[in-house]
A and B are shown apart, each in its own frame.
Chain A
Amino acid sequence: MTSSRYVFNIVAAITLATLLAPGMALAHKVGVYAYLEDGQILGEGYFAGGGKAVNSAIEVSDGAGQKLGEYATDQEGNFSFPLPAGVTPPLKLVLKASQGHQASYEMSAEELGLSGAPASAEATAPAAATAAVAVAAAPAGAATINKEELRQVVDQALKAQLAPLTAQVAKLAGEREVSVHDIAAGIGYIIGLMGMAAWFMSRRKRD
Chain B
Amino acid sequence: MHISEGVLPTPTLIAGAALALAGLSLGLRKMEQERLPQVALMAAAFFVASLVNLPAGPARVHLVLNGLLGLLLGWSAFPAIFVALALQALLFSFGGLTTLGVSTFNMAFPALVVHWVCGPWARNGSNRLAVVAGFAAGVLGVALSAILVALSLLTAGEDFLGAAQLILLAHLPVMLVEGLVTAAAVVFLRRVRPAMLAWDR
Contacts and interface: CB of A to CB of B under 8 A. Distances in A.
A190 B83 contact: yes
A102 B91 contact: no
A63 to B, nearest CB: 17
A182 B4 contact: no
Interface in B72-117: 83-84, 87-88, 91-94
Given A15-B48, A29-B92, A201-B33, 20 more contacts: A14-B45, A18-B51, A26-B92, A27-B52, A28-B94, A29-B93, A49-B60, A97-B59, A98-B163, A99-B167, A100-B152, A102-B5, A178-B91, A178-B92, A185-B87, A186-B47, A186-B48, A186-B87, A189-B87, A194-B36
Interface string B12-49: 00000000000000000001010011111101110110
Interface string A52-72: 101000000000000000000
A10 interface: yes
B88 to A, nearest CB: 8
Q: Which of B31, B48, B52, B153 has the most CB of A within 10 A?
A: B48
A100 B1 contact: yes
Contacts of B10: none
Q: Which of B47, B163, B170 has the most CB of A within 10 A?
A: B47
Interface residues of B, number: 49
A10 B50 contact: no
A102 B7 contact: yes
A159 interface: no
B56 to A, nearest CB: 9
Contacts of A197: 31, 36
Given A47-B60, A103-B4, A187 B47 contact: yes
B17 to A, nearest CB: 16
Interface residues of A, number: 50
Interface stretch (A1-9, A118-126, A130-138): A1-9
A50 interface: yes
B152 to A, nearest CB: 7
Interface of A: 3-4, 6-8, 10-11, 14-15, 18, 21, 24-30, 47, 49-52, 54, 94, 97-104, 176, 178, 182-183, 185-187, 189-191, 193-194, 197-198, 201-202, 205
Given A24-B51, A27-B50, A182-B92, A100 B4 contact: yes
A99 B37 contact: no
Contacts of B47: 186-187, 190
Contacts of A7: 37-38, 41
A24 B7 CA distance: 27
B87 to A, nearest CB: 4
Q: Which of B36, B37, B170, B193 has the most CB of A within 10 A?
A: B37
B1 A190 contact: no
B69 to A, nearest CB: 13
Contacts of A194: 36-37, 39-40
B144 to A, nearest CB: 16
Contacts of A103: 4
B53 A25 contact: yes
B6 to A, nearest CB: 6
B53 A6 contact: no
B149 A99 contact: yes
Contacts of B132: none
Contact of A29 (B41, B43, B94): B94
A183 B193 contact: no
Contacts of B40: 11, 190-191, 193-194
Contacts of B195: 3
A18 B39 CA distance: 19
Given A100-B7, A102-B6, A201-B33, A27 B87 contact: no
A14 B62 contact: no
